[in-house]
Amino acid sequence: MDVRDLECFLAVAEEGTISRAAERLHMTQPPLTVRLRTLERELGVELLVRHGRGVTVTAAGRLLAEHARRLLADLSATAETVRAVGLGTHGKLALAIGHSIAPRLVTRLVGALGSDVDLALVEVSDAEVLDRVHHREAHAGLLHRSSPRRAGGLEVAVVSRAPLVVVLPESHPFAGAERVDLTTLLDDRIALSDTDFAPSPNPPRHRADSVPHALALVESGAGVALLTTDHIPQVWPGLVARPLRQHTAITESAVCWRPDEHSPVMRRFLRTALSTPEPDVLGHPFARTPTPDDA
């Protein structure tokens, strides 16, 4: 049976007349009548009884109409699903996310995917981000570009740039300063285990596996932490984030993926990630203004 024949028959059965069905189908009556007779000959039964007021559906016609309605609905849903999968608006996306990636960045990148994409996010070290993408345990990964681990064989692109801030307890002597001199804090620095945002000759006094653990150490009085402006929403009451007095390199967050990964959802995610504006111009209060010491 031809799908178009079923659509024509269902329209006549629901409208009750061939003329109204032809209007609904945007066709003339003669070809519609031909399709109906062809369908009846193919099935070998009468589906419609024609009379002056229109048509009456036979018992066989009522059964066909019931099944045709379900079949056409299934075909329409299937076409929609296939189209959505091909466009990347439906499917699955697995992301490996480095410990030091700010949640705000993740929100910005996955928020545009929509509710029909099933997400699987796992937080791991930067080194494991690369391993998971290499071994196809994740479609893509997010990590800091300063990671010492090489991403051999993977594509890597910057998706965000952010300046550094220092996080201190509210009780710290420098908590009220407009800008903090980093050289006075090097001995008390807390670093993330696999991402040191500001490496120095002096090793950090403490290390933490994640940003929340680093903040917990700051709150305990163990030291201060260097993070990025993207992490400021994670700083809880009792802690403050202050800009640095001296120039430090802008930190870069990157996405990595396999060149042979052809998932439509992942490709759509990449289009969003790679179109994200990069904050090359830093706004108040974290924009660094020249000082006499810079001369």
Give per-residue pLDDT as tens, 5-15. Answer: 999 999 999 99
Residue ranges in the chain assigned as alpha helix (H): 3-15, 18-25, 29-43, 59-87, 103-110, 126-134, 211-220, 264-274
Residue ranges of the chain with per-residue pLDDT less than 50 = 148, 279-295
pLDDT at position 249 is: 79
CA–CA distance, 97 with 89 (Å, rounded to integer)? 22
DSSP type of residue 121: E
- For residues 278 and 158, the answer to whether their CB atoms sit within 8 Å is yes
- For residues 141 and 255, the answer to whether their CB atoms sit within 8 Å is yes
**CATH for the stretch 91-161+253-282:** 3.40.190.10
Domain 164-243 has CATH 3.40.50.300: no
- For residues 57 and 65, the answer to whether their CB atoms sit within 8 Å is yes
CA–CA distance, 166 with 185 (Å, rounded to integer)? 9
Residues whose CB is less than 8 angstroms from the CB of residue 89 and which lie 6 or more positions away in sequence, other chains included? 113, 114, 116, 117, 268
Angle at 35 between CA 32 and CA 81, to 5 degrees: 95
pLDDT at position 283 is: 37
Query: β-pairing, 140-144 with 91-98?
Result: parallel
- For residues 161 and 250, the answer to whether their CB atoms sit within 8 Å is yes
Tokens of 87: 């466009």
Kindly report the backbone phi and psi dihedral angles of residue 243, in degrees, each rounded to the nearest multiple of 5, phi listed first: -65, 160
pLDDT at position 186 is: 72
**CATH for the stretch 3-87:** 1.10.10.10
CA–CA distance, 208 with 228 (Å, rounded to integer)? 16
pLDDT at position 290 is: 45
The kind and range of the H/E element at 169 are strand 164-169
Residue ranges in 182-286 assigned as alpha helix (H): 211-220, 264-274
pLDDT at position 105 is: 92
pLDDT at position 272 is: 87
> In this predicted model, what pLDDT tens digit does every residue of 215-271 receive, in sequence order?
999 999 999 999 999 999 999 999 999 999 988 878 889 999 999 988 999 999 998
What does the buried/exposed string (b/e) look like for 110-128 if buried means 16 or more CB atoms within 10 Å of the residue's CB? beebeeebeeeeebbbbeb
Count other Cβ atoms within 10 Å, centred on residue 173: 8
Q: Determine the distance from the C-alpha atom of residue 285 to the mean position of all C-alpha atoms in its chain, rounded to a whole number.
A: 29
pLDDT at position 150 is: 57
What are the extents of the domains in the chain?
Answer: 3-87, 91-161+253-282, 164-243
pLDDT at position 84 is: 72
**91-161+253-282: same fold as 3-87?**
no
Kindly report the backbone phi and psi dihedral angles of residue 74, in degrees, each rounded to the nearest multiple of 5, phi listed first: -65, -40
pLDDT at position 277 is: 61
pLDDT at position 180 is: 92
Tokens of 281: 């111009």
